[in-house]
Amino acid sequence: MQSGDLTDYPNPFAMAAAGKSKPRHSAVRSALKFLILVAICFAIVLGISVGSKRYLMHRLTADFDSLSAADKQNRLVQMAEMGSPAIEPLAAAMAHSDIDVARTAYDLLRNLQNKWTVLTPSQQQTRHRELVTAISSVSAALPDDRTGWAVTLIQQTITEVVARTDASSRDLYRRAGETLDLLTLSNRSGPSIIDDDAFDPSSPQRLQVRGRPYPVSIENEPPVVNANDPPPPSIYKSAAMRLQPVNPDQTIVLRDVQAAKPAVVEKPPIRKETEYFVEQVQATNPGMQPTLVDSPMETYDDASVIHWLASEHGELRDKAKLELMSRGFSRDDLRLAARIATADVPTRMELVDRIAREPSIDPRPWLWMMSRDESREVRLRVISVIATMNDRDARNHLQKLMIDESDPIVAARLRKVLQLR
């Protein structure tokens, strides 16, 4: 071997790495372990999400009784945002002594029922079953003037499941019927006008119909007559404007009877010629009126005139357009006003967002007008948009709305926006 000859040295780069070959079942086992780990993590996340809702619901209901009426309404709105965990506390709140708090709970349950229509049939059935169970548990505690709310909720559930033929739907239908029986008068053990005192003395009382029927006379049954009783009188005579009974064998002597003299009635003389004075009156059609509205259109505000843009009478629509143009409305303003007057609720809600984003117009007059819309959803959307305007005019307008608002849900949103406690 000469120096520099490397033929006897092995090439380290040519050596094959010696390793253990894993069997096939080992790879399958590793995959199963990974899937099990993923499932465990998913279960943990799901449990945390469900448990967090339960925990938050427990925190919201812990000090509920110590709050004021306005704070209780705000708290109920927060509960309703959590979905199905809020069904039981909302149903219990319908029996609250404050009628405004109870009304808010009922309205929130109605909104939840309307949102369930987009769920799958199995999810809808689960929610309705929870609602029926919650109402059944508080049926005996509901005051008499609020059982109609619970009946309305149960009837909505019955409407949803009455056409289904599966076993679970039939069972839910049966339980809903039993809950209705608990809410009726004959089977209900709650406060009544006879048994217990009402929760609210000023509330209307439920009539109590349980009891014995009135006695009814038996037809074709001869009256019981005692043999010692005197015979019934058959003739009555007059004495000092009073009728007295007379026996049949008694003789009646008539006194002071005079022959009737015919009365002579003198008629006044009638003139043969009678003068008549006929005043000429212009004939008018009773079906027509001089104007289409009771007062001139100039006396109405912009919102009323815009409302007439949706009238069925073309003449009234044309007069409304002319009146708005005389008040400075442009053609674009007229088109927007006509859309607001003729649109349905979803379209009006979209118009609220478009008006808020449109830079070419002043959104305040339009939002001020739509804040008094007849739809609750539209008013809530407008209030949310006005709340983003952090200035004095917007706050003053929201305070005016708070004074005039009668809907408890909208009032609760206004309190939240105005940060009232």
Cα(223)–Cα(154) distance, integer angstroms = 53
pLDDT in tens, 118-172: 888 889 999 999 999 999 999 888 887 788 888 889 988 988 888 888 999 999 9
Residues of the chain falling short of pLDDT 50: 1, 186-187, 189-221, 233-243, 256-257, 260, 272-274, 276-278, 281-294, 421
E strand segments, 149-288: 235-238, 243-246
CA dist., res. 142 & res. 149, Å (int): 10
Quick check: helix, strand or coil at residue 243? Answer: strand
Both tokens assigned to 382: 């407008």
Beta bridge partners of 237: 244
Token pair 């037809």 in the structure block, residue: 219
Per-residue model confidence (pLDDT) at position 175: 92
Whole-Å CA distances, 308 to 253, 293, 319, 320, 332? 84, 10, 9, 6, 17
Give the domain ranges of the chain.
36-183, 295-342, 345-421
Measured in whole angstroms, how far is the alpha carbon of residue 184 from the centre of its chain? 20
Q: Pull the structure tokens for residue 220.
A: 């074709």
Distance CA 265, CA 100 (A): 74
Structure tokens at 62: 């812990």
Identify the bridge partners of residue 246 per DSSP, sorted by sequence position. Answer: 235
- Residue 310 contacts residue 334 (beta carbons within 8 Å): no
Q: What is the pLDDT of residue 261?
A: 52
Q: CA dist 384 to 70, 300, 394, 409, Å? A: 19, 28, 11, 13
> What is the Cα Rg of the chain in Å?
42
- Give the pLDDT of residue 220: 46
User: Residue 127: CB partners within 8 Å, gap ≥ 6?
Assistant: 84, 87, 112, 116, 119
Residues 390, 362: Cα–Cα separation, whole Å: 16
Annotate 205-236 with DSSP letters as a single string. PPPP--SPPPP-PPTTPPPP--TTSPPPP-EE
